[in-house]
Structure 1
Amino acid sequence: MNRIRITVVAALAGVLLLGACGTTEPASTAPEPGAAAAGPVTVTDTRGKTLSLDRPAQRVVGLEWSEVEQLLTLGVTPVGVADPKGYATWVTAAKLDATVKDVGTRAEPSVDAIVALQPDLVIARANRGAEVIAQLEKYVPVLVTKGSDTTDNIGRMRREFEMIATATGRTDQAAKTLADFDSALTDGKQKIAAADATGQRFAIADGYLEGGTVSIRMFGQGTFVSQIGTRLGLTNAWPGKGDPAWDLDQTDVEGLTALGGGDLRFFYNASDGDDVFAGGLSGNPIWQSMPFVKQKNLHRMPDGIWTFGGPLSGIQYAEQLVRIYAS
Structure 2
Amino acid sequence: MSTFPYSWLMLCSLLFSATSQANIRVKDSLGEHVLAQTPTRIVALNWDLAEQLLELGVTPLAVANIKDYQTWVVKPAIPDAVQDVGTRTEPNLEKLASLKPDLILIASPQKDLMVRLQTIAPVLYYETYNADQDSAAAAIENFKNIAGVVGKSTRAEQKLNDMKERFRELKQQLNDAYNGHLPSVVAIRFASQTTIYLYTNQSTTAYAIKQLGLTVERPQAAKKWGIVQKRLTELQYVSKGYVIYFDAIDQQNKLDKSMLWKALPFVRNGHVNQAQPVWNYGGAMSIQYIAESITQSLLEIKPQ
| TM-score normalised according to structure 1 size | 0.78
Question: Are 2:127 and 1:153 equivalent residues in the alignment?
Answer: no
Return the alpha-carbon distance in structure 1 between the equivalents of residues 253 and 217 of structure 2.
Answer: 24
Corresponding residue SS for 1:280: helix
Partner residue, 2:239? 261
Q: Deviation of residue 236 (structure 1)?
A: 1.2
Q: Which amino acid letter does the alignment assign opposite residue 290 of structure 2?
A: Y
Instruction: Please state how far the C-alpha of 1:242 moved relative to its aligned partner.
Output: 5.4
What runs of 5+ residues in structure 1 fail to find an aligned partner?
1-28, 30-37
Q: Pick from 98, 114, 122: which aligns with 1:133?
A: 114
Note the residue ranges of structure 2 that are not aligned, 5 or more in a row: 1-16
Query: Which amino acid in 2 is paired with 1:136?
Result: L
Q: Deviations over 1:140-174 (max 9, x none)?
A: 11111112255422211111001111111111111
Checking the alignment, whether the CA contact within 8 Å between 1:51 and 1:141 is kept in structure 2 is: no
Which whole-Å CA distance do the structure 1 matches of 2:59 and 2:74 have between them?
15
Task: Spell out the pairing of 1:177-326 with structure 2 (5 A cutoff).
Answer: 177-194=159-176, 195-197=178-180, 199-209=182-192, 214-241=194-221, 243=223, 245-258=224-237, 260-262=238-240, 264-271=241-248, 273=249, 275-276=250-251, 278-303=252-277, 305-325=278-298
Superposed, which structure 2 residues align to 1:58-73 within 5 Å? Answer: 58-73=40-55
Q: Which residue of 1 aligns with 2:6?
A: none
CA distance in 2, matches of 1:171, 1:46: 17
CA distance in 1, matches of 2:285, 2:36: 29
1:190, distance to aligned residue in structure 2 (A): 3.7
Q: Distance in 2 between matches of 1:242 and 1:176?
A: 30
Between Structure 1 and Structure 2, how many residues are aligned? 279
The normalised TM-score by structure 2 is 0.84
TM-superposed deviation, 1:129:
4.4
Aligned-pair identity in percent equals: 26
Letter in 2 for 1:307: N
CA contact (8 A) 1:177 1:311 kept: no
Amino acid at match of 2:276: P
Equivalent residue number for residue 8 of structure 2: none
Give the corresponding residue for 1:10.
none
Greater Rg over alpha carbons, structure: 2
Structure 1 pair 197–207 and aligned structure 2 pair: CA distance change class (3 A): farther
Match of residue 4 from structure 1: none
Rounded Cα–Cα distance in structure 2 between residues aligned with 1:242 and 1:252 = 18
Higher mean displacement: 294-303 or 147-156? 147-156
Which AA in structure 1 matches 2:211? R
Q: Distance in 1 between matches of 2:266 and 2:148?
A: 44
Pick aligned residue for 2:95 from 113, 119, 130: 113
Report the 3-state secondary structure (helix = DSSP H, G, I; strand = E; otherwise coil) of the residue aligned with 1:281: helix
Tell me, in whole angstroms, the C-alpha distance in 2 between the residues paired with 1:65 and 1:282.
Answer: 33
Closer, same or farther: CA 221–199 of 1 in aligned 2, 3 Å: farther
- The aligned amino acid for 1:68 is A
Render the CA deviation track for 1:25-73: whole Å, top value 9, x for unaligned. Answer: xxxx9xxxxxxxx65321121022x221232111000111111111111
Contact 1:80 1:101 in 2 (8 A): yes
Decide which structure has greater helix share. 2
Q: Distance in 2 between matches of 1:270 and 1:193?
A: 26
What's the Cα RMSD here?
2.2
C-alpha contact 2:136 2:202 (8 A) present in aligned 1: no
Q: How far off is 1:230 after superposition?
A: 0.9
**Are positions 1:82 and 2:64 aligned together?**
yes
Match of 1:19?
none
In 2, distance between residues paired with 1:254 and 1:297? 16
